Each structure stands twice: as C-alpha cells, then as structure tokens.
Chains A and B, each alone.
Chain A
C-alpha cells in the first residue's frame, strides 16, 4: 500500500524540529526503517511528517572520559565504522551488528531504534544494560531520562508526542570491560527470540560492575538486576554460571507467541546466559 497523504517538513535544526512537533499531529521520520512500513500499511496516518535527516546537530559520536554521547540521527552503519566507539563501548558495537540487515542499517538510526521500543530489539536493551540516559527535547526544554525507566511496555515509552530524542549518553565503561552478548533468532536479521547484552568489569581479580539486560524476554528490555548483584564482588573463578543464570531468568517475563512459548524462551535463556557469561569471563583482559 501507499502512505496516506501528509505534509512533509524538512527540519533545518533541532529547534525547528521541536517547533514543528509542538504544532500538532506530527511524527518524526529519522531512518524511516520502522515508520515507512507503518505509513505504507496506514497503521500510522499523521498530518505532518517532520524529517530530521538534514539536522547535522543530531548526528555523530563523541567519546570522552565521562562516556559516549551519540546523536539520535546517527545511522547504525556509521556506528560500526567508528574507531573511537569501537574502543570505548564494544558491547554497543557488537549489538549494532545484529540490528536488522546491511541495507536497513545504512538508513536506520540509533535514536529510531531506541524510541520504537520493540521488546525484542537490541538497542533498547543495550541502553538499559549499560546505564544510558536519553536526552529528550521539546519546546519546553530538555529532559534527561534513564533508559531503565524510559521503557513502559511494548512500543510504549516515556516520550510524549511533542518531544524529540536528541541524543543518548552512555556512562564510561573501562576499555577492558568484557562484552556479554548472545542472540538467538530464527534467521539473521530477525528480531530475537532470546537476547542478552551487557558488560562486566573486572578490577583486581573481582567483578566490580556488571550491567546486563535481556531482549525478547518481556514487554520491555528486562534488566537482570539479581544476577548483576550476585556477580559484583565475586572472583571470576568462583562463579557458577548456571546459578547466576537462574537469577537472571527470575528477572524476565517472557510471553508465548507464534515463534516460541515462554517456557522455551526461559529454557534457551538459561543456556544462553550461562554460555555468554562464561565466554565473557574467559576473555583475555580486554573487550
């Protein structure tokens, strides 16, 4: 099908985009990899589509000692070729590799993926696991929301219609933090049946910090809080991965759908968690 008629507005700046959003029934188009199908299927019929593709201030990655700030309009493909990002936040780069396909990553943006809030998508869970903060702008000002409180349900977030996601900021993780990542999907590029993402930091022979979240295992990204607390303070050699996996599964809320039952997801999740944790702890002192 073809999209229903709408007014198209090419925003020239963040302020311009935000002013357009304040003026009524408007939707933002970033990479369009989710919005375009919704328009074509007429599941979305906005009066106005505000295009932020030409707003330079919404693009780019900056890495500092405090962490990593990524403009919402930064394309997924560009995150895969950013050398500074690869050094600073390997778990994010690993997760981006699993988002969609080569062709959709060439247009798709990190911001679009974050606000669409597909429960089985990689980016929201990565933001939750690594402790990211989302910067939302409206005509009324800026609001910073922790990723962990941003996701309310499937496709539902704390963002309101006149707000624009401007950037996502990840706190610094040391370069030697270990990446935890596993995704089980029917085909590459499909949404995950079960996914796990995060990082583990080891300092002086013990785990100093762990950030872990599931995707495809509940209505929102599910943070594995109990597993995180159980890991901190322990030496990698003393950890029984299957015990921690049990704690991690306790923090999920999977569902039955045509692809898999909740019980199947839990069972796969247990194994995936234990394997990913074991692999991360065995990594050689770096990512």
Chain B
C-alpha cells in the first residue's frame, strides 16, 4: 500500500500531508482537514451528500481519491457564509423556503446550487432543478428545495408568510 504527498487548497487555505492511496477525498476533508460539513451518506456515489466543489465543479467527494485532488482548489460548505455570518444567497434561499429538515443532505445540495448560481451565467430554474437529480433528500419531499431554487433563479413568488 502506497503513501503519497499531497498539497491542495481547501476553502482558501493551503494544506499538505502524506496520505494512503485509498483515502477518499471525503474522508480527507472530514478526518484530516476537519471539514465535517462534508457529509458522507452512502460512500458509494448514490446520495450526493458529500458533494464539494473541486476546481470550480461540483463533484461527489466519496468518488474521488484524496491523492487525485493534489494541486486542486476545493470548496466545502464551510466556505459559503461570509466570516460575519451573512449567509450565501443559496443558503438564504434554502432557509427562507424551509429547504431542509434534518440537514444531512443540505451541504451537498448547497454546493451544487452554489456552483450553478455563482458561475458567470447563473443557471436557470430548469437547469438547477435537473442538477438536483444528483441529490437524495429523505426529509423534505423536495418542495422546499424547489421553492428555494425558484426564489434563487428569480422565477418565483417569494416564500409565503408562515412557511417557516
């Protein structure tokens, strides 16, 4: 079993280490780097909870080896809110629209939403909803998430009074 040096950036901070080849990026982020906002639901690419942004793309971190992220820039959910606690627009939209209950799936969903929202031409409602097929949520029934997307993409009536 081989060991490998890696150097990468996580949420703007430089990290270096020596890791086993078999270590997944999800486990590296959680265990070695302490970003426990990366949730591991299935460890086999089905649920999407572990989604992070690697070099500008939303990917499942359980389906990537940590050594493959050598030289990459990784963003986890911990990077979304501003240091003063101001929520990122995707977080605010999820909060306004009751887009989460237990919150287990939420970090992954937020990272997919963030990458599509923050790109030069933000995704519209259809594209963002299509990208949600890569996430499983066992609580919400998805309607709150859909409303959040509609609010975010400007195709929506704002959250109803008393929806919280």
Contacts and interface: CB of A to CB of B under 8 A. Distances in A.
Interface of A: 1-10, 29, 32-33, 36-37, 39-41, 49, 51, 53, 77, 100-104, 106-107, 187-189
Residues of B contacting A: mostly: mixed
A107 B61 CA distance: 10
B109 to A, nearest CB: 11
Contacts of B112: 102-103
Given A8-B21, A107-B59, 6 more contacts: A6-B1, A6-B22, A101-B133, A103-B112, A104-B134, A188-B130
A75 B2 CA distance: 27
Given A32-B65, A102-B130, A106-B58, A5 B45 contact: no
Nearest to A1: B43
Nearest to B108: A103
Interface in B40-78: 43-46, 48, 51, 57-60, 62-65, 67-68
B24 interface: yes
17 contacts: A5-B21, A5-B22, A6-B21, A7-B21, A8-B21, A9-B2, A29-B65, A32-B64, A32-B65, A33-B63, A37-B46, A39-B22, A53-B68, A101-B133, A104-B45, A104-B63, A188-B130
B131 interface: yes
A101 B131 contact: yes
Contacts of A77: 57
Nearest to B48: A103
Interface residues of B, number: 29
Contacts of B2: 6-9
Nearest to A29: B65
A36 B133 contact: no
A41 B62 CA distance: 12
B20 interface: yes
A187 B135 CA distance: 12
A2 B27 contact: yes
B118 to A, nearest CB: 15
B20 A5 contact: yes
A104 B62 CA distance: 11
B60 to A, nearest CB: 5
Contact of B63 (A4, A6, A9, A107): A107
A40 B67 contact: no
Closest 4 CB pairs of A and B: A8-B21, A101-B134, A5-B1, A102-B131
Nearest to B111: A103
Nearest to A7: B2
Contacts of B48: 101, 103
A223 B131 CA distance: 31
Interface string B106-142: 0000001000000000000000001101100000000
B4 interface: yes
Contacts of B65: 8, 29, 32, 36, 49, 51
A163 B41 CA distance: 34
B151 to A, nearest CB: 20
Contacts of A102: 58, 112, 130-131, 133-134
A188 to B, nearest CB: 4
Nearest to A39: B22
B22 A103 contact: no
Given A3-B22, A37-B45, A49-B21, A10 B134 contact: no
Nearest to A32: B63
B133 A188 contact: yes
Given A3-B22, A103-B59, A187 B133 contact: yes
A99 B44 CA distance: 17
Contacts of B59: 103, 106-107
